[in-house]
Structure 1
Amino acid sequence: MSRSATLADWVEGARLRTLPAAISPVAAGTGLAIFHDAFDPLLALLCLLLALSLQVGVNYANDYSDGIRGTDAERVGPLRLVGSGLVEPRRVKFAAFGCFALGALTGLVITAVTGWWWLLIIGAFSILAAWYYTGGSRPYGYSGLGEVFVFVFFGLVATSGTALVQTGFGAAVIGQCLLASTAIGLLACAILMANNIRDIAGDAEAGKHTLAVRLGERRARLGYLIMVVIAALCCVWLAGSTTWWALLSLIFCVVVAPGTRRLLRGAGGRELIGVLKATGIAELVCALGLLAGLLLGSL
């Protein structure tokens, strides 16, 4: 491209539309902490900073790794910095590592506040998983394991971690964390699935065998629906074990329903960009519904 990258290009490269996947687990986990009268604003804020830095870091890392492999040569979605030729790969790689460094520093502070040194191990695995999603010689995101990473780290680890560093490890809390983590993690996976359904043709041609590519278009669309339905059931189960106010989280079904209908009816290409955006908003609505409901139930 003939022009230089602007700040707006770097912001677009950070893919701010994906940030609900970082904010949502922290909101849901903090809701559980509030419900158990253990809310710690400092730890909640640190968890949010950690999640955001890793999310933006993995976005830049994906931009770099996919760009140098040529996976982004033909894209339907938003601009990619490396794939478009707008920014030198090494600069995008440096931006990714800078975000990971911020995440590592935040994790160190959380460890210092809680005194739980073993959190450093989880943090190290989180950063490695973020990089090797599309980085390295054998990226697991190219083998259909991307949803596993998202579920584990942006579902189980982020949601449960936010709750447990504030509440401790009571038996009741752990069970509720698993339900909240599953709901949030599956909605995050649905975001990735919608993205990968959109890119099935290009990914298959580039040798990127995402779960959507492996399942095929029809089964991938069904998989998206199953993720959304199970997430809703987990919200109901969580409400039954905490407070029925937590059913406010089900408002996400209203948000995600139109896009789900379009996806199941065969929407593709640029039509799925709207579905992707709606799924991200739905995850955030679910998390904020849990936060509000658990807050009301604690009063």
Structure 2
Amino acid sequence: MSKIPVWLEATRPKTLSAAVCPVLVGTSLAWHAGLFDWRPALICLFFALLVQIGTNFANDYLDGVKGSDTQKRIGPQRAVASGLVRADSMKRAALVVLGAAFCLGLLLIPFGGWWLLAVGVVSVLCAWCYTGGPYPLAYNGLGDVFVILFFGFIAVGCTYFVQAGPPDWVVYWSGFACGLLINNILVVNNYRDVEEDLVSGKKTLAVSFGRTFALWQYRTTVFTVAMITCCLSVALQNRLLPLALLALIPAALLAWRLPELHSSDEYLAALKTSGVVVAAYGLVFSAALAF
């Protein structure tokens, strides 16, 4: 029982909004099109959550055994690196959760066709290859591409597809906005971990191009998402959609405070803020389309 809080923290609950937001947005777009179906929407939600948790477990295990996470890190304590969970236990947990995600995803085939099997396989494999495999995405500057692609375009697009059919450009732009905003969670992590990643050979964009690049990446993302939201409001003729801009205010404030952060608690608060922004944006965006 004493391990339960450790495992709950290993799921990285502050980042789970990254799984919920794109499903909410994709579902709200299906609702707006008059084709909402709660059954595939619910499956997509739990599939996304399992993939996110499985990815976090795999990241905890792989970064721990590679030495990328150490007890000296500024960020939150990691279960394997700190010795709270054995590496083989975390590896088994990651594989079990990702396996469960794949099996759950099979239930979407009746709603969208057999091609979704390929999406499920690629999603699960990339969840592991994010920090594992012969060419780890996060270690080679492709973590941002992974997040925007899978938590943006694919998550929103597939959630819409299994309910309403082939996505249109509105769905893709909505997915792009979600992916960018979710990626800001990763940007905060990479901005914080530059020194540690440099020592471990983890070539994030922040390591390759510096903290100034990461800072402006965060700022540009907030501005771009705001512009996309305004354009979608016009395209959908929805006067409530700009209310989602209110959710971006904490991110805009954080974008100018990042250089002032130094302690673990400050970065943890920044990470939490970025996660809350994602959740708030998804909720307001979805509510605006629903009403």
**What is the number of residues matched between the two proteins?**
288
The one of 249, 252, 268 equivalent to 2:247 is 252
Contact 1:21 1:283 (C-alpha < 8 Å) held by counterparts: yes
The one of 190, 195, 217 equivalent to 1:196 is 190
- The residue identity in structure 1 corresponding to 2:44 is C
What are the superposed Cα offsets for residues 231-255 of structure 1, whole Å, 9 maximum, x if unpaired?
Answer: 1111111111112222221111223
**Would you identify which runs of 4 or more consecutive aligned residues in structure 1 move more than 4 Å?**
none
Query: What CA distance in whole angstroms lies between the structure 2 residues aligned with 1:220 and 1:269?
Result: 18
For structure 2, the residue ranges without an aligned partner over 5 or more in a row are none
Contact 2:222 2:252 (C-alpha < 8 Å) held by counterparts: no
Query: What CA distance in whole angstroms lies between the structure 1 residues aligned with 2:220 and 2:161?
Result: 28
- Counterpart of 1:81 in structure 2 is 79
1:12 has 2:6 as partner? no
- Counterpart of 1:140 in structure 2 is 137
Contact 2:60 2:90 (C-alpha < 8 Å) held by counterparts: yes
Query: What CA distance in whole angstroms lies between the structure 2 residues aligned with 1:75 and 1:137?
Result: 25
What are the superposed Cα offsets for residues 257-292 of structure 1, whole Å, 9 maximum, x if unpaired?
Answer: 3222211x4423422222211111111111111100
Normalization by structure 1: what TM-score? 0.93
Contact 1:17 1:280 (C-alpha < 8 Å) held by counterparts: yes
Query: What CA distance in whole angstroms lies between the structure 2 residues aligned with 1:269 and 1:143?
Result: 27
Normalization by structure 2: what TM-score? 0.96
Deviation at 1:197, TM superposition (A): 0.4
Alignment of 1:1-299 (within 5 A): 6-73=3-70, 74-111=72-109, 113-169=110-166, 173-242=167-236, 243-263=238-258, 265-270=259-264, 271-296=266-291
Contact 1:107 1:123 (C-alpha < 8 Å) held by counterparts: yes
Query: What CA distance in whole angstroms lies between the structure 1 residues aligned with 2:56 and 2:115?
Result: 26
Q: Percent identity?
A: 39
Query: What CA distance in whole angstroms lies between the structure 2 residues aligned with 1:288 and 1:100?
Result: 26
Query: What CA distance in whole angstroms lies between the structure 2 residues aligned with 1:89 and 1:71?
Result: 14
For structure 1, the residue ranges without an aligned partner over 5 or more in a row are none
Deviation at 1:40, TM superposition (A): 0.6
Contact 1:198 1:269 (C-alpha < 8 Å) held by counterparts: no
CA RMSD of aligned residues (A): 1.3
